[in-house]
């Protein structure tokens, strides 16, 4: 009792600096996002500070949120999946080709699209764990292969006219003025958060990412965990592809290329907030909307589209640097 009381008193008396640092790390991105909204709102209140603008941001970026959430699963286990954007494009194209060109009901087309995405994740896991090839090399190769398959089955053309039933339940139907796509992304975020924080599976993933040899000696089947993470990543990539098809009503064979850089930037930026030093779904989702808010505000101010690359590229470098700094600080404590 004395020790606990002394510790509590010591924290109350001398721990304020550490508490403020901890608060800044956890909620700094929230504060920065609020400041960004305030700045753009002051500059363009009649266009930026409107509910239609924010409902568009929330709904249109749900696909990017799901891709980012897919990326953080293998990242937590210490692996990279740079094929996820190509998986997204492939799944949207499979759904589009089957539904539009072969008149397959949209439900079956969606199942085929997601199945193809999971298959890519299975292949990634096979080569990475069985042949011990670095995940970056394998997923870069499979991603390029998948891109070629997408161009082949689409004849390098955009497939339009996808079933309105899909479009209806992704973009047309709204809750509080926000498309349902946003709520799907929130549900995915909540599910991953629950798995990471409250299940044995989530703890195993974290242990594998922190140290594979230690995890192996602890009885964790490291390769099985890594393989499962890669399949989960591809599953979410395929899900994002279906959502993309529902968002636009079409499948574009090169659509995934524009999602890779923002997704990785948001994943690493999210690792600096909410749960600093760890890839976490809440931070990732927050980072997506922080970055998109910046892009939207700059676009409304008339800045040329090249600012997208400048913003996302710079954000990725800064995010990786900050995540490294935060990780180093967490290890010291």
142-146, 160-164, 169-173, 324-328: least confidently modelled range: 324-328
Residue 210: CB atoms within 10 Å: 14
Residue 13 lies in a domain: no
Is a pLDDT exceeding 70 seen at residue 60?
yes
DSSP track, 169-194: IIIISEETTEEHHHHHHHHHHHHHHH
The Cα 87–Cα 65 span in angstroms is 15
How many structural domains compose the chain?
1
Residue 10 lies in a domain: no
Is a pLDDT exceeding 60 seen at residue 155?
yes
pLDDT (0 to 100) of residue 317: 76
The Cα 188–Cα 232 span in angstroms is 12
Is a pLDDT exceeding 70 seen at residue 332?
no
- The tens digit of pLDDT for each residue in 198-218 reads 999 999 999 999 999 999 999
In the chain, which ranges are continuous DSSP H helix? 2-14, 16-43, 51-60, 62-76, 84-96, 106-130, 135-154, 164-167, 180-198, 200-210, 212-217, 222-248, 257-270, 281-300, 307-332
Is a pLDDT exceeding 50 seen at residue 44?
yes
Residue 3 lies in a domain: no
The Cα 256–Cα 29 span in angstroms is 26
> At 143, which CATH number?
1.10.3470
Mean pLDDT value across residues 285-314 = 80
Per the prediction, the chain carries an average pLDDT of 87
Residue 4 lies in a domain: no
Residue 16 lies in a domain: no
Half-sphere exposure of 180 (CA within 13 A, CB side): 12
Asked if residue 68 lies in contact with residue 240, where contact means CB atoms within 8 angstroms, the answer is no
pLDDT (0 to 100) of residue 21: 65
Asked if residue 294 lies in contact with residue 33, where contact means CB atoms within 8 angstroms, the answer is no
Asked if residue 259 lies in contact with residue 64, where contact means CB atoms within 8 angstroms, the answer is yes
pLDDT (0 to 100) of residue 211: 92
pLDDT (0 to 100) of residue 200: 95
pLDDT (0 to 100) of residue 7: 43
Is a pLDDT exceeding 90 seen at residue 306?
no
pLDDT (0 to 100) of residue 4: 44
Instruction: Note down the domain range covering 153.
Output: 30-328
DSSP track, 102-163: S---HHHHHHHHHHHHHHHHHHHHHHHHHS---HHHHHHHHHHHHHHHHHHHHTT--EE---
Residue 6 lies in a domain: no
Residue 173 lies in a domain: yes
The residue written with tokens 């479009």 in the block is 167
The Cα 200–Cα 177 span in angstroms is 37
Asked if residue 279 lies in contact with residue 80, where contact means CB atoms within 8 angstroms, the answer is no
Q: How far is CA 101 from CA 10, 46, 105, 117, 245, in A?
A: 70, 44, 11, 20, 15
Mean pLDDT value across residues 67-91 = 97
Residue 329 pLDDT grade (very low, low, confident, very high; cuts 50, 70, 90): low
Residue 19 lies in a domain: no
């Amino acid at each position: 009792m004395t020790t606990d009381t002394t510790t509590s008193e010591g924290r109350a008396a001398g721990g304020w600096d550490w508490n403020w640092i901890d608060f800044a790390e956890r909620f700094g991105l929230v504060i920065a996002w609020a400041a960004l909204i305030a700045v753009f709102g002051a500059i363009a209140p009649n266009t930026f500070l409107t509910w239609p603008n924010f409902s568009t941001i929330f709904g249109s970026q749900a696909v990017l949120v799901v891709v980012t959430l897919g990326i953080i699963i293998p990242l937590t286990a210490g692996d990279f999946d740079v094929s996820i954007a190509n998986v997204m494009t492939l799944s949207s194209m499979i759904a589009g080709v089957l539904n539009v060109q072969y008149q397959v009901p949209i439900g079956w087309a969606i199942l085929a699209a997601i199945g193809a995405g999971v298959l890519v994740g299975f292949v990634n896991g096979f080569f990475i764990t069985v042949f011990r090839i670095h995940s970056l090399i394998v997923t870069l190769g499979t991603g390029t292969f998948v891109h070629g398959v997408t161009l082949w089955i689409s004849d390098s053309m955009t497939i339009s006219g996808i079933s309105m039933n899909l479009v209806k339940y992704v973009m047309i139907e709204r809750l509080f003025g926000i498309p349902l796509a946003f709520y799907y992304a929130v549900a995915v975020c909540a599910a991953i958060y629950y798995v990471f924080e409250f299940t044995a599976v989530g703890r195993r993933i974290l242990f594998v990412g922190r140290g594979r040899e230690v995890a192996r000696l602890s009885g964790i089947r490291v390769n099985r965990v890594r393989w499962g993470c890669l399949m989960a990543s591809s599953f979410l990539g395929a899900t994002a592809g279906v959502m993309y098809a529902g968002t636009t009503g079409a499948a574009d064979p090169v659509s995934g290329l524009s999602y890779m850089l923002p997704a990785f930037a948001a994943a690493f930026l999210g690792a600096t907030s909410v749960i600093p030093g760890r890839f976490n779904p809440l931070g990732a989702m927050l980072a997506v909307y922080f970055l998109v808010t910046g892009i939207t505000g700059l676009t409304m101010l008339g800045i040329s589209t090249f600012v997208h690359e400048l913003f996302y590229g710079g954000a990725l470098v800064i995010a990786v640097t900050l995540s490294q700094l935060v990780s180093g600080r967490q290890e010291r404590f």
